[in-house]
């Protein structure tokens, strides 16, 4: 009888230990399932792109900061910045992993509204980066002041053209906050400060180099007197450079955005006049810093300005600029 009682007590104890272990695993999630834990928070990052040099630099900054903070991250993005549906699928997958926080750079500032509501209902803090979203759900946005940066590009374009001429715009999109702000920042500055410059209606290339090159060639064919072209991101600017080169047209002032080897080479050779460089590593770092503060329940500003600089042949070798060129 005594033996049976001891056996029963041991069985109860084993069951209690097993239940306790199961409870511990389910409450915090496990690294294999993608969830966060108290010992290592998990931040799921869904970007606007992945292959482009800019996004790889953002990823590098996020990874560096995650290592300092003791966090684990995943970083995904669609092949091109025109793949809105694929990005929404990636966002859905990220939320299914129940991360401790979510980093999100929206291709379409409205398309993800339902999923952001889902994140809020699951008490997953959202940090927007690079592009804000049409929602008050993100706890903060870590990004370049895109309107101010585009206005800076317009300032230099106007000076380079002597305040006169026709200027075209090749913009990456009209749905993301960065696309909207860079378009509007450039156009608004020109309207207010350069009455002698005519800005043509923006053309949208989806950030795709080939498509942006084709758009550039069409603009040149339709407007043989074109004096300048503004490319609003990496793909748009490189596409504009290629389009001008392939058209055989000379004397067009190209001003770009972002910094890649193709743009750096074009500036050094004189094909591109200059560009705005962001600080993508800082964007990645600030994204993870903000996510960790949100996980800890700390307060955050609504916007974290990660900065920008104009660079051209005169300052491209300056150490401060070199540190920000993502080639």
- pLDDT value at residue 135: 87
* Residue-number span of the structural domain to which 244 is assigned: 146-278+312-322
For tokens 């401790």, name the residue.
100
**19 has pLDDT over 50:** no
49 in a structural domain: yes
Residues 318 and 172 in one domain: yes
Judge if 127 and 226 occupy the same domain. Answer: no
> Which of 58-72, 99-113, 190-204, 287-301 shows the lowest mean pLDDT across its residues?
99-113
- 244 and 188 in a single domain? The answer is yes
The C-alpha atoms of residue 73 and residue 23 are separated, in whole angstroms, by 24
Q: Is residue 291 part of a domain?
A: yes
Same structural domain for residues 191 and 228? yes
Assigned token pair, 149: 């940066």
Least confident of 208-212, 218-222, 258-262, 285-289: 258-262
Per-residue pLDDT tens for 49-67?
998 889 999 999 999 999 9
Has residue 307 been placed in a domain?
A: no
Instruction: Find the radius of gyration of the CA atoms of the chain.
Output: 24
DSSP string, 76-126: E--SSTT-HHHHHHHHHHHHHT--SEEEE--SSTTTTHHHHHHHHHTT--E
Q: Rounded to whole angstroms, how far apart are CA atoms 84 and 175?
A: 10
Residue whose tokens read 């923006």: 202
Is 0.95 topped by the overall pTM?
no
Residues 255 and 290 in one domain: no
Please compute, for residue 234, the number of CA atoms within 13 A of its CA located in the half-sphere on the CB side. Answer: 23
The per-residue pLDDT of the chain, averaged, comes to: 89
Measured from the Cβ of residue 35, the count of other Cβ atoms closer than 10 Å reads: 20
Please tell me the predicted confidence (pLDDT) of residue 82: 86
Within 13 A of 62's CA, how many CA atoms are on the CB side? Answer: 31
Q: How confident is the model at residue 35 (pLDDT cuts 50, 70, 90)?
A: low
Whether residue 248 is found in the same domain as residue 292 = no
* Same domain as 316, residue 192: yes
pLDDT at 39 over 90: no
Say if 2 falls within a structural domain: no
Q: What is the pLDDT of residue 18?
A: 34
Tens digit of each residue's pLDDT (9 = 90 or more) over 224-242: 999 999 999 999 999 999 9
Task: Kindly state the average pLDDT of the residues 169-192.
Answer: 96
| Within-domain flag for 4 | no
Domain check: are 252 and 284 in the same one?
no
> Does 327 fall in a domain?
no
Report the 10 Å Cβ neighbour count for 24.
12
What CATH number is associated with residue 196? Answer: 3.40.50.2300
Residue 318's pLDDT is 96
The neighbour count for residue 125, using CB atoms within 10 Å, is: 24
Indicate whether 55 belongs to any domain: yes
pLDDT higher than threshold 90 for residue 26: no
**Structural domains counted in the chain:** 2
Q: Please indicate, yes or no, whether residues 102 and 240 belong to a single structural domain of this protein.
A: no
Structure-block tokens of residue 127: 């940090």
Between 35 and 28, the higher pLDDT residue: 35
pLDDT at 81: 86
Q: Which tokens go with 2?
A: 């005594």
256 and 219 in a common domain = yes
Residues 180 and 82 reside in one and the same domain? no
Residue 22 scores a pLDDT above 50: no
Range of weakest confidence among 2-6, 24-28, 192-196, 246-250: 24-28
**Same domain for 131 and 151?**
no
**92-137: per-residue pLDDT in tens?**
999 999 999 999 999 997 899 999 999 999 999 999 999 888 789 9
* Residue 167 forms part of a structural domain: yes
Six-digit token string for 287: 């994204």
Could you tell me how far CA 186 lies from the centroid of its own chain?
Answer: 19
Residues 287 and 138: beta-carbon distance below 8 Å: no
């Amino acid at each position: 009888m005594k033996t049976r009682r001891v056996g029963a007590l041991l069985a109860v104890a084993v069951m209690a230990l097993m239940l306790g272990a199961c409870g511990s695993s389910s409450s915090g999630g496990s690294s294999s399932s993608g969830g966060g834990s108290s010992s290592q928070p998990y931040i799921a990052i869904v970007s606007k792109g992945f292959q482009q040099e800019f996004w790889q630099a953002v990823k590098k900054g996020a990874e560096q900061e995650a290592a300092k903070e003791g966090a684990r991250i995943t970083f995904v993005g669609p092949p091109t910045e025109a793949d809105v549906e694929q990005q929404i699928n990636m966002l859905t997958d990220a939320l299914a992993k129940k991360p401790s926080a979510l980093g999100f750079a929206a291709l379409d500032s409205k398309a993800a509204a339902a999923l952001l509501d889902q994140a809020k209902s699951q008490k997953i803090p959202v940090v927007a980066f690079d592009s804000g979203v049409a929602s008050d759900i993100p706890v903060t946005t870590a990004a370049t002041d895109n309107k101010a940066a585009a206005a800076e590009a317009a300032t230099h374009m106007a000076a380079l053209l002597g305040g006169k001429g026709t200027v075209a715009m090749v913009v990456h999109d009209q749905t993301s906050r960065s696309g909207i702000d860079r378009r509007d920042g450039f156009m608004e500055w020109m309207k207010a400060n350069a009455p002698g410059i005519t800005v043509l209606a923006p053309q949208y290339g989806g950030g795709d180099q080939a498509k942006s090159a084709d758009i550039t060639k069409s603009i040149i064919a339709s407007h043989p007197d074109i004096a300048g072209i503004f490319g609003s991101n990496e793909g748009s600017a490189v596409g504009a450079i290629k389009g001008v080169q392939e058209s055989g047209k000379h004397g067009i002032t190209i001003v770009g955005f972002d910094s890649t080897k193709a743009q750096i080479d074009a500036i050094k050779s004189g094909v591109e006049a200059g560009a705005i460089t962001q600080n993508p590593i800082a964007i990645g770092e600030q994204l993870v810093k903000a996510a960790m503060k949100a996980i800890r329940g700390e307060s955050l500003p609504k916007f974290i300005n990660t900065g920008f600089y104009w660079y051209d042949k005169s300052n491209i070798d300056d150490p401060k600029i070199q540190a920000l060129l993502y080639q």
